[in-house]
Amino acid sequence: MGENKQEKYVRPSWDEYFMNLAEMMGTRGTCDRGRSGCVIV
């Protein structure tokens, strides 16, 4: 049936997850000076 190749998936920690979320939010900003994002948990 073919080879069974499973890629190892590493889950990010909660801190990494929320920091990535904040970075993505910051890219959506319309102001060139203050591109920042905030996530309240």
pLDDT score for 17: 94
Q: Which CA distances in Å does 31 have to 25, 27, 40?
A: 13, 10, 21
Measured at the CA of 21, the angle between CA 15 and CA 25, to 5 degrees, comes to 145
Query: Beta strands of 1-41 (E only): which ranges?
Result: none
pLDDT score for 19: 92
Q: Using one digit for the tens of pLDDT, what is the confidence trace for 1-41?
A: 566 667 788 999 999 999 999 888 888 878 777 777 778 88
Q: Which two tokens stand for residue 11?
A: 């889950």
